[in-house]
Amino acid sequence: MLALPQKGHSSCHRTVWKKKKPQEAHEAHVEIRTDDLSGPEIAELLGEHLANMAENSPPESMHALNIEQLRQPDITFWSAWSDDGLLGCGALKELNPQHGEIKSMRTVSRHRRKGVAAKLLEHILQEARRRNYKRVSLETGSMDAFAPAHHLYARFGFTECRPFADYIEDPNSLFMTKEL
């Protein structure tokens, strides 16, 4: 069952996932929807994301985007929701007609280790295939704080690569890519 769109959230391109983990007391629906970045929950999550990136990365190595940067026409932003509210977010930036970049992957703290990021990543990769991208790449931190992200991306078939787009070599960055 799909929920009706909430104020401040676009309803196009929605995917609903049913949680399959038996350890959950109840089966929760996860709805992934294109988001216009106007909701207070998203603003709070992205603020937390930027603050966390600033804690773990030197300023010259921080590539996280703020809300205004995420509103650019070459970026599509999604949020994941359940009955518990906002679960997480992620974005896809078109670098060229054959190459996309994953941006702003973030899970709400209390929903980490529940598969939210995997569902968002699966959705983003599905959209990249729909757009006929040949490759999807990403930049993340190289430090231990980013190890869960490294494991997630590796599980989905991403491998380390050289800097792409406008990035340059940086010991604080890990670049990964996946051919589609």
Tell me the pLDDT band of 28, cut-offs 50, 70 and 90: low
Q: What CATH number does the domain located at 15-179 have?
A: 3.40.630.30
The ranges assigned to domains in the chain are 15-179
- Residue 161 tokens, joined: 């690569």
Q: How far apart are CA 173 and CA 163, in angstroms?
A: 9
Tens-place pLDDT, residues 160-178? 999 999 999 999 999 999 9
Tens-place pLDDT, residues 135-162? 999 999 999 999 999 999 999 999 999 9
Tell me the three state secondary structure of residue 100. strand
pLDDT at 118 over 90: yes
Does the pTM surpass 0.85? The reply is: no
What Å distances lie between residue 36 and 1, 26, 99, 130, 145, CA to CA? Answer: 22, 30, 23, 21, 29
Average pLDDT over residues 40-52: 94
